[in-house]
């Protein structure tokens, strides 16, 4: 814990942590030491972690990196983090993220952008760590914590993991409780870890997962010993390679990595099959209707009355308007506008309802594939390596949305997906591959992920 606290201090330039909690960390570490001494240590005793600022932490400011929650100190702890503390983990502090987890570059945070510890060979340009869990990925990659919590609504665990050579798993929807996590799009949001290795991710997910009566969408299925899946033979497993993911204009190095990854799995005894997920091309547009729709509804609670920032106004409507105009950043306001538009009378059928139907078709594509005996699907994690801060999405937000092309389908279908570091591009930047599994079969992803790692 001390080593990590001093590493955090030296790496403040990365802006990965938005709040450091050294006193709390040392107290938790001492408690873990005492338990180890007594022989009743939990599986994560003394492991120092960073917590994405979307997880409510009792008595510790939790902002979702939004000005509107700038002074919010929860009186309760999220289920996921309380399970980590139950198992002995130590909290080092809270990690930067895109405001309300809306973004793919960690550039929408009210605390400013996060730096990626990786650089292009021979260049000093600061690159983004991806988003929205950019602080989590950067902190893990820079060895500021041994692991971090993160959330994934459309790729926010897997894309930053791929940009930083870390491992990120988004478990099946319902695997982790969403209780106490700031909501973005409730039918898509899932918590998961970002860690230094597949094994570390397995250990962390085991503590984070599990049924919680406080979240009605959390599923009552036993959490397996994920670590036992590491090193398990993948012989005879059927790996689907979806032809629709072979995009026009995909960089040759991503294509090459994908082929190599498939070859590694084959060499380990898996069988490769080409599969078709015909509705893939509709996933991104449908996601960018469903996610903002749910966000506009979830964010209605930030009215200046119950939480956080309050701006004054001549009457209650003005108070709401002034608070929300002042408290939300540009990307969040954009999402609220898109969301209320697609849900409004007259447009609901044309946009929201249609997007929901597309979502069902996307889910069915995967079901058909799994029904043919496919155990997991291998794809690239991202369409490119990390890019420079401010390099993308400035004039055209859709340019940023295109980053999520390989990851959003997984959230739309509620499936588990893992991003594993697999290689580097010509400039020495990390690239990741993604494995998508059957519902509640995260173990398969850990076994296969370890082969690629």
| 53 contributes a contact to ligand GLN by CB under 6 A | no
Within a 10 A sphere around the Cβ of 153, how many other Cβ atoms?
27
The minimum distance between CB 341 and ligand GLN, in angstroms, equals: 16
Footprint of ligand GLN on 283-342 (CB under 6 A): 291
52 flagged as catalytic? yes
The number of residues that bind ligand GLN (CB under 6 A) is 13
| 103 contributes a contact to ligand GLN by CB under 6 A | yes
Nearer residue to ligand GLN within complex by CB, 1 or 434: 434
Nearer residue to ligand GLN within complex by CB, 102 or 452: 102
Q: Do residues 406 and 130 touch, judged by C-beta distance below 8 A?
A: no
Residues in CB range of 244: below 8 A, 6 or more apart: 276, 277, 278, 280, 281
Long-range contact set of residues 108-111: C-beta below 8 Å, sequence gap at least 24: 108/65, 108/132, 108/329, 108/330, 108/331, 108/332, 109/18, 109/65, 109/134, 110/63, 110/65, 110/66, 110/67, 110/70, 110/329, 111/15, 111/18, 111/65
Identified binder of ligand GLN from the candidate list 68, 90, 102, 162, rule CB under 6 A:
102
CA–CA separation, 231 vs 173, rounded Å? 25
Nearer residue to ligand GLN within complex by CB, 115 or 154: 154
Which residue among the candidates 132, 138, 207, 218 is catalytic per the annotation? 132
Q: Segment near ligand GLN (CB under 6 A), from 13-21, 43-51, 97-105, 434-442? A: 97-105
Identified binder of ligand GLN from the candidate list 81, 116, 149, 156, rule CB under 6 A:
156
Q: Which two tokens stand for residue 255?
A: 């294509």
The minimum distance between CB 271 and ligand GLN, in angstroms, equals: 32
| 106 contributes a contact to ligand GLN by CB under 6 A | no
27 alpha carbon, distance to own chain's centre = 28
156 flagged as catalytic? yes
Tokens 């060499």 correspond to 267
364 flagged as catalytic? no
Identified binder of ligand GLN from the candidate list 66, 96, 132, 323, rule CB under 6 A:
132
Binding mask 379-408 for ligand GLN (x = CB under 6 A): -------------------------x----
CA–CA separation, 133 vs 109, rounded Å? 11
Q: Is residue 297 within a helix (H) or strand (E), and if so which, with residue range?
A: helix 283-298
Residues catalogued as catalytic: 52, 132, 156
**Residues near ligand GLN, by CB under 6 A:** 101-104, 132, 152-156, 184, 291, 404
């Amino acid at each position: 814990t001390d080593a990590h606290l001093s590493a955090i201090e030296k790496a403040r330039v990365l802006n990965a942590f938005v709040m450091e909690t050294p006193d709390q960390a040392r107290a938790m570490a001492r408690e873990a030491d005492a338990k180890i001494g007594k022989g009743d240590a939990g599986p994560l005793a003394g492991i120092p972690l960073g917590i994405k600022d979307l997880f409510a932490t009792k008595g510790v400011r939790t902002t979702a990196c939004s000005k509107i929650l700038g002074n919010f100190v929860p009186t309760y702890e999220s289920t996921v983090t309380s399970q980590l503390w139950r198992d002995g983990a130590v909290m080092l502090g809270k990690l930067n993220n895109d405001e309300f987890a809306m973004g793919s570059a960690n550039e929408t945070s009210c605390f400013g952008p996060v730096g990626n510890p990786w650089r292009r060979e021979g260049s000093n340009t600061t690159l983004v760590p991806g988003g929205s869990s950019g602080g989590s990925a950067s902190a893990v990659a820079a060895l500021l914590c041994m692991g971090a919590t993160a959330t994934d609504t459309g790729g926010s665990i897997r894309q930053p993991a791929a940009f930083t050579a870390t491992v990120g798993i988004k478990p099946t929807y319902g695997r982790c409780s969403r209780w106490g996590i700031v909501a973005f799009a409730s039918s898509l949001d899932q918590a998961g870890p970002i860690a230094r290795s597949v094994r570390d991710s397995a250990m962390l997910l085991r503590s984070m997962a599990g049924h919680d009566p406080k979240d009605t969408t959390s599923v009552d299925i036993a959490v397996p010993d994920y670590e036992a899946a590491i090193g398990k033979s993948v012989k005879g497993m059927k790996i689907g390679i979806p032809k629709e993911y072979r995009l026009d204009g995909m960089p040759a190095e991503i294509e090459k990595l994908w082929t190599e990854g498939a070859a590694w799995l084959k060499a380990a005894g898996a069988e490769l099959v080409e599969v078709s997920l015909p509705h893939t091309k509709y996933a991104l547009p449908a996601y960018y209707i469903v996610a903002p729709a749910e966000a506009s509804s979830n964010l209605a609670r930030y009215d200046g009355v119950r939480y956080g920032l309050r701006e004054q106004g001549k009457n209650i409507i003005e108070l709401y308007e002034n608070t929300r105009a002042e408290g939300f950043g540009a990307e969040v306001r954009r999402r609220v506008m898109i969301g209320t538009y697609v849900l409004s009378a007259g447009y609901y059928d044309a946009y929201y309802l249609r997007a929901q139907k597309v979502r069902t078709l996307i889910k069915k594509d995967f079901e058909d594939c799994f029904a043919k005996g496919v155990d997991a699907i291998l794809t690239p994690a991202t369409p490119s390596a990390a890019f420079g801060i401010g390099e993308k999405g400035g004039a055209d937000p859709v340019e940023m949305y295109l980053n999520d092309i390989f990851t959003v389908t997984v959230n739309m279908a509620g499936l588990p997906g893992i991003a594993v570091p697999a290689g580097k591009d010509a400039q020495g930047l990390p690239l990741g591959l993604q494995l998508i599994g059957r519902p509640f079969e995260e173990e398969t992803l850990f076994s296969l992920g370890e082969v690629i790692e």
